[in-house]
């Protein structure tokens, strides 16, 4: 196994158990606007993509920046109100990230979420130590499955892609890791291991408590010794 110097985490569904609340937010958004919306299909087409790309998928056409901003503001405000009341990490995440950092692994976040959702999550998650870099979907990078967000996260922390492991819960994110030349761990909060499979996927787990029980970090130490 290649040397591991950094772990790059997707945010929604990977660090925090938020994906059901994104779905509920789309349902409420559609209700308010009187839209007939197939939410599971929309989630399949948009999870991992940036806000502008999501707005275009929603409207099934190219939207203006102003229209995208309005859609994003309304839907994400609903999401934060819903999830804020029941906020929860993916089980064991903070402890796992803290243990990884204690071993000298660099920690970064690569998410299609915008700065408002990033701030919302980070304020409540209270990671210690904080990630060395956070790359968001509103910074001008194309969304997943393109590798841009993950490659920028690696660049910011000064680690070559082949020495990074990405943690992802969605097919687009798993594919983005492959295109970036990074290994991946499938976090099966919203998709099955089969849906998140790939030659670069080195583990598939329900949550970080399960991953910790597998001595995953200790295995990485053995690989880098």
Give every CB contact of residue 212 below 8 A, 6+ residues apart in sequence. 92, 95, 96, 99
| Dihedral pair phi/psi, residue 182, rounded to 5° | -110, 150
Classified as helix, coil or strand, 101 is: helix
For the record, the structure tokens of 18 come out as 């938020």
Q: What is the pLDDT of residue 3?
A: 93
pLDDT, tens only, 144-158: 999 999 999 999 999
Closest CA to 9 of 148, 144, 185: 185
Q: What is the pLDDT of residue 223?
A: 43
pTM given for the model: 0.95
> Which pLDDT band, with edges at 50, 70 and 90, does 224 fall under?
very low
Classified as helix, coil or strand, 167 is: strand
CA distance 39 to 24: 9
Average pLDDT estimate for 20-47: 95
> Which pLDDT band, with edges at 50, 70 and 90, does 35 fall under?
very high
Check if the beta carbon of residue 12 is closer than 8 Å to that of residue 22.
Answer: yes
> Which pLDDT band, with edges at 50, 70 and 90, does 221 fall under?
low
């Amino acid at each position: 196994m290649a040397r591991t110097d950094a772990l790059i985490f997707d945010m929604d569904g990977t660090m925090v158990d938020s994906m059901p609340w994104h779905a509920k937010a789309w349902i409420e958004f559609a209700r308010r606007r009187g839209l007939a919306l197939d939410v599971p299909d929309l989630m399949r087409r948009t999870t991992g993509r940036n806000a502008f790309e999501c707005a275009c998928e929603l409207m099934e056409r190219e939207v203006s920046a102003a229209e995208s901003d309005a859609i994003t503001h309304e839907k994400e405000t609903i999401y934060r109100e819903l999830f804020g009341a029941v906020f929860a990490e993916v089980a064991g995440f903070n402890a796992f990230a803290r243990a990884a950092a204690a071993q000298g692994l660099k920690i970064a976040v690569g998410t299609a979420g915008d700065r408002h959702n990033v701030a919302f999550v980070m304020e409540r998650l209270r990671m210690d130590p904080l990630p060395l870099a956070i790359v968001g979907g509103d910074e001008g990078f194309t969304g997943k499955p393109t590798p841009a967000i993950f490659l920028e996260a690696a660049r910011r922390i000064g680690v070559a892609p082949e020495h990074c492991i990405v943690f992802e819960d969605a097919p687009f994110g798993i594919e983005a890791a492959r295109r970036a030349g990074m290994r991946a761990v499938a976090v099966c909060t919203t998709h099955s291991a089969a849906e998140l499979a790939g030659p670069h996927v080195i583990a598939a787990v329900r949550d970080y408590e399960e991953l910790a029980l597998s001595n995953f970090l200790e295995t990485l130490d053995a690989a880098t010794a």
